[in-house]
Structure 1
Amino acid sequence: MADPLGPVIRALGRAGSASSDYDLNPDTVLPPGRKLRPAGVLVPLLVRNGEARLILTKRSSALKHHPGQIAFPGGKQDDGDADITAAALREAREEIGLDPGNVESLGQLPGHETVTSFAVTPVVGRVLAPFDPVPEAGEVDEVFDVPLAHVLDAARYSVQGRRWRGSIRKYYTVPFGPYYIWGATARILRTLADAVDRS
């Protein structure tokens, strides 16, 4: 039987160039010498009943950065993290109760720069066995999963815009049911979708 994650694994080596929250806003002038903080997010994929699924979180509305948004588990790299993959796995344990030993790292997607000055490295991982998510109180309101096929379908993406710092900022969206997936999360997923399409 073919591995449902096979297309993703084959695509990781040809995932294109780095992306940013400014991709759709070419007139944005970024300050020279800006400093970005390294961060790692886990793109957790699991296979259930033969179907590939993607695990995502809904962030707490009380958070300072990206409140209430749909996101990957992850966060900034700490001094104690061996590397960016270790940071992503540590954050996934803290945010959703996913044991790092239950994750097989499949590779990384190109980096992504956020408007909040993070240099994010998406680490794609296979969740080896079912687990019961435990949302981190105060940071994660909900843990849910969506069909991987949904976010790999480029036709499901649209470009929207909203006013931000006095101008209209455009961004990708890929909604699923009640979940409005947009911004950095949607942009990273679009990078993955484009890579799979090319492979």
Structure 2
Amino acid sequence: MTALPGWFQPLLDRAAASRTEDFTRLATPAEGGRDSAVLVLLGEGPAGPDVLVLQRAARMRQHAGQPAFPGGAADPGDADAAATALREANEEVGLDPASVTVVAQLPRLWIPVSRYVVTPVLAWWHSPHEVWPCQPEEVAHVARLPVAELVDPANRVRVRHPSGWIGPAFDMPGMLVWGFTGGVLSAVLDMGGWSRPWGPGRLVDLPAVDATPVPSASGSASAEDGR
């Protein structure tokens, strides 16, 4: 495996022992649901560690305009969750799988509203390269978000969905990272030892684009505590 930078090791140590409860209060069912995977890809840019996040196109039927890690539903030919995440990332943003070192698979997480069972795949981007929206009808924007900016208390907020659901989010330039992605990202920052006290944080209302609640990986409709 490609050598990891020193800052990655604390996250890897915590991830190896992580449990579903570290990410969500929602139990993953033993059976049912559609298998899927997302790529939690950490690289190192001019501002230090960063994470790759995309924004869905505004005209999509589902999840319009929402932030996401690269990823999607498993195909029959995928060997495992890592294969799914890397394939989807290649299709969505042109990510070269050879530039990535997969280091861990995080616990499988249940999203009841879509009936997806999602495996976040933790990876090190050892050879970063240009990425872009390969499927403009699905992906509007791709960004590498610096960890230093994500953990800045000024950028930590709580989002209230029109359904009443409230969860942690990140108010980044050009992108509000919330929902399932915001919850997973919040947990990963905690595990890496990067998080700074920020609660309770500003409360931001989402526009009523999609009235379907999308539970954050770090809480439920009553999750209002900041860290």
Match of residue 77 from structure 2: 80
CA contact (8 A) 2:8 2:192 kept: no
Tell me which of 5, 14, 17 is aligned to 2:17. 14
1:119, distance to aligned residue in structure 2 (A): 0.9
1:136, distance to aligned residue in structure 2 (A): 2.0
Match of residue 148 from structure 1: 147
| Alpha-carbon spacing, 1:7–1:154, altered in 2? closer, same or farther (3 Å) | farther
Matches within 5 A, 1:15-164: 15-18=18-21, 19-20=23-24, 23=25, 35-49=32-46, 51-114=48-111, 115-137=113-135, 138-151=137-150, 157-164=156-163
CA distance, structure 1, for counterparts of residue 89 and residue 145 of structure 2: 17
Secondary structure of 2:59's partner? coil
Q: 5+ unaligned residues in a row in structure 2: which ranges?
A: 195-227
Size of the aligned set, in residue pairs, is 187
Spell out, residue by residue over 1:123-152, the C-alpha distance to the aligned partner (whole angstroms, 9 max, x if none): 011112121113122111111111123445
Secondary structure of 1:90's partner? helix
RMSD: 2.8
Please report the TM-score for the alignment, with normalisation by the length of structure 2: 0.72
Match of residue 180 from structure 1: 176
Please report the TM-score for the alignment, with normalisation by the length of structure 1: 0.82
Q: 5+ unaligned residues in a row in structure 1: which ranges?
A: none
Opposite residue 194 of structure 1, the aligned amino acid is: D
CA contact (8 A) 2:155 2:172 kept: no
| Alpha-carbon spacing, 1:93–1:107, altered in 2? closer, same or farther (3 Å) | same
Spell out, residue by residue over 1:20-76, the C-alpha distance to the aligned partner (whole angstroms, 9 max, x if none): 5xx4xx9xxx9x998311110001111124711111101111222211111100000
CA distance, structure 2, for counterparts of residue 174 and residue 10 of structure 1: 25
CA contact (8 A) 2:47 2:146 kept: no
**Aligned residues: percent identity?**
30
CA distance, structure 2, for counterparts of residue 162 and residue 64 of structure 1: 18
> Taking CA–CA contacts closer than 8 Å with sequence separation of 6 or more, which of the two structures ends up with the larger relative contact order?
1
Opposite residue 128 of structure 1, the aligned amino acid is: H
| Alpha-carbon spacing, 1:16–1:195, altered in 2? closer, same or farther (3 Å) | farther
